[in-house]
């Protein structure tokens, strides 16, 4: 018996400036595990402070490169845009890579108005599907995975 190939969804959103970066990602992973491989970026503890020279290299090797590679390998990108995303930059980088490689993008706004987003971000969301909640995103992906 052959096993059906499962597409992947990269779960993009704030980590560094989020009070709870995991709950929504874990919910998506649990609810979609039959249909998709949901990729959750791993938040490792950085052993260096931002004022140390080693900090930049460590972040690049342990966050930036692995996350960009995961976005490139994923067929789908789900992005939760909230105030923590506005403060950070990783989600913007992941969204840019996904847009450049024409990935299927689904997004939701959580506490942020679309008019508050940078023009670059809005351009990356061209042809993206907007949902109102994590539950709506799960419903959308379940219908796509059938």
> Among 34, 40, 108, which Cα is nearest to 74's?
40
Which residue is associated with the tokens 């679309």?
A: 114
Q: What is the DSSP letter of 125?
A: T
Structure tokens at 34: 């039959």
Q: Assess whether pLDDT exceeds 60 at residue 1.
A: no
Structure tokens at 117: 């987003």
pLDDT computed for residue 3 by the predictor: 58
Which of 29-33, 39-43, 71-75, 137-141 shows the lowest per-residue confidence on average (mean pLDDT)? Answer: 39-43
Give pLDDT tens digits for 16-44: 999 999 999 999 999 999 999 999 997 77
Q: What is the DSSP letter of 62?
A: I
Q: Assess whether pLDDT exceeds 80 at residue 5.
A: no
Residue ranges with strand state E in 16-75? 36-39
pLDDT computed for residue 45 by the predictor: 86
Which residue is associated with the tokens 């996904």?
A: 98
pLDDT computed for residue 82 by the predictor: 97
pLDDT computed for residue 43 by the predictor: 73
Rounded alpha-carbon distances, angstroms, from residue 21 to 6, 13, 16, 26, 84: 24, 8, 8, 9, 10
Q: Assess whether pLDDT exceeds 80 at residue 80.
A: yes
Share of the chain above pLDDT 90, in %: 89
7-43+74-145: what CATH class? alpha beta
């Amino acid at each position: 018996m052959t096993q059906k190939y499962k597409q992947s969804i990269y779960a993009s959103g704030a980590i560094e400036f989020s009070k709870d970066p995991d709950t929504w990602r874990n919910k998506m992973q649990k609810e979609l595990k039959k249909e998709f491989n949901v990729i959750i970026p791993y938040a490792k503890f950085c052993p260096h402070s931002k004022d140390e020279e080693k900090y930049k290299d460590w972040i690049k090797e342990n966050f930036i490169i692995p996350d960009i590679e995961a976005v490139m390998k994923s067929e789908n990108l789900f992005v939760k845009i909230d105030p923590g995303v506005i403060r950070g930059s990783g989600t913007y980088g992941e969204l840019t890579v996904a847009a450049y490689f024409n990935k299927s993008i689904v997004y939701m706004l959580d506490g942020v108005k679309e008019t508050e987003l940078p023009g670059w971000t809005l351009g990356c969301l061209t042809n993206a599907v907007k949902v109102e909640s994590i539950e709506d995103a799960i419903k959308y992906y379940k219908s796509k995975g059938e």
